[in-house]
């Protein structure tokens, strides 16, 4: 035990001695979290829309003013010109171009079907889909105003209506920061843990200092635990600070118990860092280890549901997620924070992470060779 204690002390000394790494470990994660937490929002506001009014009637003017009043759109008017339309979309001057045709009012009054053409830049298919929906709702709004005029259209009279009321549990206002903050924080903290542990060992290999340790009576497990524990501790520390920032700056709810959070965080960090150890076992140069780490890490974060929903992924991807510690942890963290889930609710994830952590660390210790 004394040996382990000394080893951990040595690691901490080395970490605190490196003046460039200190801010990377203890300051940059928080700055990044606080800034990047704003990056996700599904709200559409002030989307550029260009309206071409070829009718210039009372109803078309009313329609335009509806768009101008809407918080979703920033309206610009344009006269009809085939070339300018494609130009505006090509040069990203606008996201959508709505064309109100000639005789719009006349046809509406006499009940002749009218088509309004909506040109959308659909490269970002999600935004363009949303704009399409909002435009539809705004356009339908004119029927309420002009009911007396458009008497031929009797819309709401006979058709029964289902009142669909969504209630958004655990995050009533669909606050994206509650979703993003745990995600970004987890990425940064686990990156520190996994990468640094692995580098640390491979560096000793590359520098040859590992042989000096190999000839001492230090056991394999002592050496590896000495490398693993400091970063588990740093990870817990960073996560705690980051969550405190979230709670005080962004009103991030913490419904669950602190213990549950700690239990899962420790399990996750051990599992993640175990992978770092494994990769270190199998690489001889820092370069090799770093590319392996980057490869696995990117897969972990982008497939684990940090930013996009896991359910939408193809089945094979979900099968891969069984060995993705981030997949368990992301779900668990959000459940603990927002829903107040306890260990019993998350028992499957608990066993998965536990088995995962034990296996990776054992295999890492077993595969580590003291001889060169």
Enumerate residues 65-104 that contact other proteins by CB under 8 A.
89-92, 95
Start-to-end CA distance of the chain, whole Å, equals 26
Q: Does 278 bind other proteins (CB under 8 A)?
A: no
For other proteins, the closer CB: 326 or 337: 337
Given 49, 75, 184, 252, the residue binding other proteins (CB under 8 A):
184
Cα 244 to Cα 239: distance, rounded to the nearest angstrom? 8
Q: Does 116 bind other proteins (CB under 8 A)?
A: yes
Of 36, 54, 67, residue with least CA distance to 250: 36
For other proteins, the closer CB: 3 or 116: 116
**Min dist. Cβ of residue 329 to other proteins (A):** 13
Stretch that binds other proteins, among 75-83, 185-193, 226-234, 242-250 (CB under 8 A): 185-193
Cα 70 to Cα 48: distance, rounded to the nearest angstrom? 12
Q: Does 149 bind other proteins (CB under 8 A)?
A: no
Altogether, the residues listed in the chain come to a count of 372
Contact call for residues 61 and 224 (beta carbons, < 8 A): no
Q: Does 196 bind other proteins (CB under 8 A)?
A: yes
- 349-368 binders of other proteins (CB under 8 A): none
Q: In which residue are the tokens 């684990």 written?
A: 304
For other proteins, the closer CB: 21 or 358: 21
Neighbouring C-alpha atoms within 13 Å toward the C-beta of 108: 23
Cα 30 to Cα 248: distance, rounded to the nearest angstrom? 13
- 197-216 binders of other proteins (CB under 8 A): 199-200, 203
For other proteins, the closer CB: 79 or 173: 173
Of 367, 181, 156, residue with least CA distance to 277: 367
**Min dist. Cβ of residue 249 to other proteins (A):** 15
Given 54, 233, 241, 286, the residue binding other proteins (CB under 8 A):
286
Contact call for residues 276 and 195 (beta carbons, < 8 A): yes
Cα 114 to Cα 136: distance, rounded to the nearest angstrom? 14
Q: Collect all residues with Cβ–Cβ distance below 8 Å to 367 and sequence separation of at least 6.
A: 278, 281, 282
Q: Does 189 bind other proteins (CB under 8 A)?
A: no
**Min dist. Cβ of residue 277 to other proteins (A):** 15
- 3-22 binders of other proteins (CB under 8 A): 18, 20-21
Given 7, 49, 75, 188, the residue binding other proteins (CB under 8 A):
188
């Amino acid at each position: 035990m004394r040996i382990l204690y000394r080893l951990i002390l040595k690691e901490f000394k080395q970490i605190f001695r490196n003046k460039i790494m200190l801010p990377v470990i203890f300051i940059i994660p928080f700055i990044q979290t606080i800034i990047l937490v704003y990056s996700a929002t599904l709200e559409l506001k002030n989307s550029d829309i260009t309206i071409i009014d070829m009718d210039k009637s009372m109803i078309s003017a009313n329609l335009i003013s509806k768009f101008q009043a809407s918080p979703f759109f920033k309206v610009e008017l344009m006269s009809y010109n085939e070339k300018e339309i494609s130009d505006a979309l090509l040069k990203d001057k606008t996201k959508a171009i709505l064309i109100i045709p000639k005789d719009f009012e006349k046809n509406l009054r006499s009940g002749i079907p009218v088509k309004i053409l909506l040109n959308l830049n659909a490269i970002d298919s999600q935004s363009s889909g949303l704009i399409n929906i909002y435009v539809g709702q705004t356009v339908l709004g004119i029927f309420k105003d002009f009911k007396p005029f458009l008497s031929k259209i009797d819309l709401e009279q006979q058709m029964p209506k289902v009142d669909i009321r969504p209630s958004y549990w655990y995050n009533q206002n669909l606050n994206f920061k509650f979703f993003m903050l745990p995600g970004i924080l987890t990425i940064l903290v686990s990156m520190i843990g996994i990468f640094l542990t692995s580098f640390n060992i491979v560096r000793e290999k590359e520098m040859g200092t590992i042989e000096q340790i190999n000839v001492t009576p230090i056991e394999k497990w002592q050496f590896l635990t000495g490398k693993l524990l400091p970063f588990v501790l740093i990870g817990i520390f960073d996560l705690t600070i980051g969550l405190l920032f979230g709670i005080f700056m962004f009103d991030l709810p913490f419904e669950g118990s602190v213990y549950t959070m700690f239990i899962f965080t420790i399990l996750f960090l051990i599992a993640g860092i175990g992978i770092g150890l494994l990769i270190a076992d199998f690489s001889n140069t820092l370069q090799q280890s770093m590319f392996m780490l980057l490869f696995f890490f990117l897969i972990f974060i982008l497939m684990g549901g940090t930013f996009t929903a896991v359910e939408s992924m193809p089945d094979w991807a979900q099968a891969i997620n069984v060995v993705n510690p981030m997949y368990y942890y992301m779900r668990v963290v959000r459940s603990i924070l927002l829903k107040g889930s306890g260990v019993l609710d998350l028992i499957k994830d608990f066993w998965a992470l536990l088995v995962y952590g034990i296996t990776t660390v054992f295999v890492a210790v077993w595969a580590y060779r003291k001889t060169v």
